[in-house]
A and B are shown apart, each in its own frame.
Chain A
Amino acid sequence: GQQVMQIPQYQHVQEGEDFTTYCNSSTTLSNIQWYKQRPGGHPVFLIQLVKSGEVKKQKRLTFQFGEAKKNSSLHITATQTTDVGTYFCAPSYGKLTFGQGTILTVHP
């Protein structure tokens, strides 16, 4: 089936440092969603990107969709301890397919 590569699998940062996770597909995507799962919780929708080159911001989070619609990134500026969790990209290949996720740990 269709696959997406999400990197890195783990990221440990000091509070205040920036963080980026990347999602790469070998084929063109119609759109991509991002979800966050807090430790012990369930995935919660963050955002959807549809247009080529689209950039959306939510406070300290910046989401980008590549020009070719084959990759996407989530960047967090000045991480806080509340940012800990697993971030999943979910590209659409007709139906949503979740990436492996990036586990973010923030050290105070």
Chain B
Amino acid sequence: DVKVTQSSRYLVKRTGEKVFLECVQDMDHENMFWYRQDPGLGLRLIYFSYDVKMKEKGDIPEGYSVSREKKERFSLILESASTNQTSMYLCASSETWGFTDTQYFGPGTRLTVL
């Protein structure tokens, strides 16, 4: 079974802090994704990566950056956290270059910014 893990289930940070969310997948997948999930808005894509050190902006990249130094690990960075970034963050991976491959999700990190 594909396993996608995220570093924290719950996280509380202060406005202005730098926040790192880590995601690791164990199936040698090419593609990795970061989404945020808010009530009534579904899943919105923040960034994705199709290879090590490669990244592409998703639909809502403002206020976020990402890092992919190793194939199995994809990090989401909030340079200066703000209250409107309070949300559930979900990481996902998929096997091949085609972005429409099945995505496997991690358990999510619920981030609260005070």
Contacts from A to B (Cβ < 8 Å): 1, 6, 9, 30-31, 33, 35, 41-45, 48, 88, 90, 92, 94-101
Contacts and interface: CB of A to CB of B under 8 A. Distances in A.
Contacts of B92: 43
Interface residues of B, number: 20
Given A42-B107, A42-B108, A98 B102 contact: no
Contacts of B35: 98
A97 B108 CA distance: 18
Interface in B68-85: none
A30 B102 CA distance: 14
A98 B99 CA distance: 13
B66 to A, nearest CB: 16
B42 A99 contact: yes
B99 A43 contact: no
Contacts of A95: 45, 48, 99-100
A43 B100 contact: no
A67 to B, nearest CB: 20
A12 B5 CA distance: 32
A43 B105 contact: yes
Contacts of B103: 33, 35, 43, 45, 90, 96
B41 to A, nearest CB: 6
A30 B98 CA distance: 12
Nearest to B41: A100
17 contacts: A30-B100, A33-B100, A33-B102, A35-B103, A42-B90, A42-B105, A43-B43, A43-B92, A44-B105, A45-B104, A48-B100, A92-B99, A95-B100, A96-B45, A97-B59, A98-B44, A101-B42
